Every structure is written in C-alpha cells, then in structure tokens.
Structure 1
Amino acid sequence: MFADHRYGRDRARKEARRRAGDLVRLIDAPIPDLSALRGALTACGLSHDGPFHVLTAAAKADADHGAAADALAEALRHTPDRPFALGRLPHGEVVAVVQGGPGPAVKLGELWPVAHACAPLVPLHGGIGAEVTSPDRLNSSLTGARYALATARSKAPDGARLDSVEDLTTLEGLLAGIPADVRAAYHDRVLGPLADDNTSSRMLRETLESFLAHNGSWARTAEALHLHVNTVHYRIQRIEVLTGRDLSRLEHKLDLYAALRCR
C-alpha cells in the first residue's frame, strides 16, 4: 500500500515537471503559439489572466543546475499567494512562471539568501523579468529575466544574487548584463589607442575620466590632476584625435563614458 502511494506521488511529480517543461519551452519560442500556451498554463494550474513574471535561475557550473532549480522552487514556495510553475529547458536553464503581483522582486530578494542555504557552496544567480499582463508577453518577460540574471552573475560571480530587470536604473547596471566579451570589444573599439596598456594611454584615460567626472570643466579637471589648464586642453585634444570623438558633444561623451565603464 505504502509503495503504491509513493509510486503514485512520484508519478504525479514527474507529470507536473513534464507539464512545466512544456510551458517553459512554449515561452522560450520567439513567436508564441497562444492557443498552446493557454493550454499549458491551464495544465500547470495557472489561469490565463495576468499579471505574470518570468524568473530564471542558474548555477555557475552546469552540474549544479539542479541546485538552482531547488533554490528557486524553495524561494517561490514562501510566496503562497503567487502560484507558479517551474520547469527546465533542454540546455538546463531553470525557468519559472509566477502569477500574481505586484512586487515579487521584493519578497524574493529577501528570500534568496534563504534559498541559497539549500546549496551554500554553489554560486546561485537569478533574474526576474518585467511584469506582463497577458500570456503572449511571457517571452518578453523571459528576455528581461535573462538579462537580469546576467547582471547578477556579473555583480557576484562567485556568490548568490537575484536581480530584477525593473531595478536596472543606471548605466552601470545596464552594462553589467551585457556579456563580458561584448563589453571588452566595445571598450577596445571606442577607446582605440587609449585602451592600450602603456604609460601614455593610461595618462590619457586618467585625464578623460577626470574630465568626464567634472562635467567637462577644464579648471576643475586641472585642479584634480594638479595640471595647468593648457595641459588639460592639449590632452583632451589628443584624446579627440585618437578616438575620433568630439568631447563638446553629449553623445560622444556618453560613448566614451560607457567605454570606460566597460573596462
């Protein structure tokens, strides 16, 4: 009798995982099959009405994706007012669809350290996508969740962190979600010779950073660097020649500022 009960329970869990897997695979499709998506939501015990958030979680190593799934599930179980379905994509990514709102990031942000306690030696990262009101926007929320996940990895590569795409309010936060190789390519391409690791390039980068930090003030830059104003003028002109940017133009200042932050 007990063995039959356990078998039935295990079978139900496998079926729930299969249904959740079907749901997240449909969400991962760039062009959603809305009819199939609605059916998958129903099969997972979720309604067709929003709001929804999509969350994703990952560990640093592929072998630890199970720990990421356990951590995300543990955190979500502590928010019983928000039903969810959690599944895994074929490449191992853990994805959850959470129904209800507002503000899941607040509760889950507090619960993530508790969830991390399930596997304290495993670097765990999570991302929360933007709130969407209909099933056809779930893929958009997944895209945001992946970006927030990349930001969390960048900020705490060897720790545990959960970020929300709705908390990306600074340029540094935005850049953190961009892959490291893309940031490096942008840094090298925009700064040009200034990206080189030699004394002259380092001196010009320091001048540029100070000039931007002091809102383009020649006098304050000269004071901060203990230079004559004419020296600052010369260096800025040299920077403009080497990068092809005009530091009297806002968009060019932003290009160079972002390149420096990508270092």
Structure 2
Amino acid sequence: MSPFGEPDPVRAAALLGARAADDGAPVRDLVLGLLKAGAGADHGLLEAVMGAALDGYARANRAELARHDTERAAFVTDLLTGRADPGGLAERAQRYGIRLSATHVVLVARGAEVSPALAQRVDGALAARYGDGNTLTTLRDGELVCISAGGLRGIAAELARLLVGELGPGGWQIAVGRPHQGLPGLARSLGEARGSLDHAAKLGFTTPVLHAADLLVFPVLLRDREAITDLVTTVLGPLREARGGARPYLDTLTVLFEHQGNYTATARHLHLSVRAVTYRLDRIRDLTGYHPGEPTQRFTLHTAVLGARLLGWS
C-alpha cells in the first residue's frame, strides 16, 4: 500500500508505519518502500510522509513493548504469589523458558528508582550473558526482580555490575534469596531476598550484595518477638537512665561489634578518643551489669543490640 494516492497521505503513512511494526517488518524496508513509491513526488510531501510513517512505526513498537512488559510483570507476579491456575501458569512459563519444577533463585534490587526501560536493558543483558530461559527480570512494586536458574554462577555479581553501569555505585542494594525448588520455592526465595533487604535497612548494612543465607540469624531472632523484646528490655533497658539516653551507648556497642571488639577502630569511627570509648563501655557495665569485654556476656549484649535495631528500640 502506498500513501501517495490517499486523500490524506500523511495519515495513511502513519497507519502504514504502525502496520509495518506490527508485522515485524524492518524499518529499512519501510523507508525503501516509501522512497520507491514516492519517486517524483514533491519533496515536502515526501518528507512529511516519511516522518509520519516513522512516527507510526515507533509508536507501535513502544505500545508492543509496553504490552510485553505488562504481560511479563503480571506473569512474574502470578509466579511469585501462586495465585494463578497452575496449568495456565505452566503454559505461560514455557514462553519464557522457565521450568516450574526446577530450582530457582530470586534476586531483588531496591533503593534507586528503576525505570521500565532500565529493567528491559538489564533483562536483555542477563539473557545475553546466561542464555534465554535462564533469567527473567522485570519491575515489580518498584523493585527490580530477577528470577534465575538455581545453578547460575556469578549472577549477583553480574547484576551488580549492570546496576553500577546504569545507576552508579551507590543508592541501591541487591539481596539474593536461597535456591529452592518448584513453584512454592520461588515465593520463598523472594521472601528471603526482600526480608534480607528489610533487615539490612534496620541494621544499617550498606553492603551492595546481600545473601539471605548469611543473614539467617535475623529471622530467627524475630521469630519469637516476645522473647527478643524481653531480652532487649532486660539487658539494655537500664541504658535509658543514662544522661543523654540509650542511643550513644547503643551506637558505641554497634560499632564495637562491627569492628570485632577493636577499641581503636571503634573510637576512630565514632570520632572519639579510646578513653571515651572505654568510659562508655564501663558505664554500660555499671548500668546493665554486662560488658563486651567479658566473653560470657559479649554474645548476650551483641544479640540484644541486634534485636534492638531490628525492633527499632532505643
């Protein structure tokens, strides 16, 4: 079809461009066809027709990408929540090369504003690196969610590398769930990854890549909230009576444990003298009866401090 014989050739060209995109025709074929059909036509008309056809082609492509992204996001949501019919879900999974009975790992990136275009680029880069059907990446609830075949090596490091290239080195964090098998395993791995990000935010962990397997102690601590609350209140409650409240002492203990009990490194981090750090730790012992320098008391204090941060207690 040539738009040059139409009453409105510009509008006809836009429809022609959209149809070419829907049919999967290369844009080069569209341009060559229009040039051939418009040989001898007025230069201004040819330019307007060409522009309209390319605009129609681009709009149709964007609409197709948006539809594809919507379908992909809906599929991932159904996959991770298990709300859809398993039979229909299995049929949809085949389109993306996913075997529902296999072992998978879910990775979640959070923190920076991730656009659909970025998610598309990351998905394409991971597919190119690991092969179609081994990864599936999409945007979900403002987070970048990647479903990975359980045996892939280096997937977290590769995702981090891509995010550094796209977003820079800061402002985001990746958590990797543990590998689990089958459809219920996907939801479990997602929950572990998101839970790790939640715990990291409460505890102030800034490591770019977190592994749920390394943070299993924190769900255990929170599993019996009444017990951990009782521990925090009993061990750390007396610090509230100190001048300035509990916060300076909690901060001191937190940094001390992060630096494996090194007083000098703790003082440097807190911009204090070693003598000031020693004084605070002695005050903690006087108020609570616990001192991190005592091996039998260190674990109790450390657990109480972690529990306080998880609970938002101060």
Matched, 1:6 2:21: yes
TM-score w.r.t. length of structure 1:
0.60
Matched, 1:39 2:80: no
1:168-210 deviations in Å (ceiling 9; x for gaps): 37x6xx59xx9xxxxxx99974622415662696897799888
Q: Which has the higher contact order (CA 8 A, sep 6+)?
A: 1
Query: Could you tell me which residue of structure 2 aligns to residue 164 of structure 1?
Result: 211
Structure 1 Cα separation of the partners of residues 121 and 241 of structure 2 = 43
Q: Is the 8 A contact 1:55 1:95 kept in 2?
A: yes
Give 1:77-226 correspondences, 5 Å limit: 77-81=127-131, 83=133, 84-89=135-140, 91-103=141-153, 106-120=154-168, 123-150=171-198, 154-156=204-206, 161-168=208-215, 174=218, 189=233, 191-195=236-240, 198=243, 213=261, 225=278
1:108-152 deviations in Å (ceiling 9; x for gaps): 314523432123387333222211121221100111121344466
| Greater shift in the superposed pair: 121-130 or 203-212 | 203-212
Q: Taking every aligned residue pair, what percent have the same amino acid on both sides?
A: 17
Structure 2 Cα separation of the partners of residues 205 and 124 of structure 1 = 26
TM-score w.r.t. length of structure 2:
0.52
Across the aligned residues of Structure 1 and Structure 2, the Cα RMSD in angstroms comes to 4.8
Structure 1 Cα separation of the partners of residues 170 and 245 of structure 2 = 42
Query: How far did 1:163 drift?
Result: 2.6
Structure 2 Cα separation of the partners of residues 203 and 56 of structure 1 = 33
Query: How far did 1:82 drift?
Result: 6.2
Opposite residue 168 of structure 1, the aligned amino acid is: L
Q: Is the 8 A contact 2:107 2:156 kept in 1?
A: no
**Secondary structure, aligned partner of 2:151:** coil
Opposite residue 239 of structure 1, the aligned amino acid is: T
Larger Cα-atom Rg: 2
**Secondary structure, aligned partner of 1:258:** helix
Q: 1:50 aligns with which of 102, 106, 112?
A: 102
Structure 1 Cα separation of the partners of residues 156 and 214 of structure 2 = 13
Structure 2 Cα separation of the partners of residues 201 and 124 of structure 1 = 30
Q: Is the 8 A contact 1:59 1:65 kept in 2?
A: no
Structure 2 runs not aligned, ≥5 long = 1-15, 25-60, 223-228, 263-276
Q: Is the 8 A contact 1:75 1:108 kept in 2?
A: no
Structure 1 Cα separation of the partners of residues 94 and 305 of structure 2 = 48
Opposite residue 55 of structure 1, the aligned amino acid is: L
Query: How far did 1:249 drift?
Result: 7.3
Structure 2 Cα separation of the partners of residues 59 and 39 of structure 1 = 33
Opposite residue 137 of structure 1, the aligned amino acid is: G
**Secondary structure, aligned partner of 1:118:** helix
Query: How far did 1:32 drift?
Result: 7.1
Q: Give the aligned length.
A: 227
Structure 1 runs not aligned, ≥5 long = 179-184, 215-223, 227-231, 242-246
Summarize the Cα distance change of 1:199–1:26 in structure 2 as closer, same or farther, 3 Å threshold.
closer
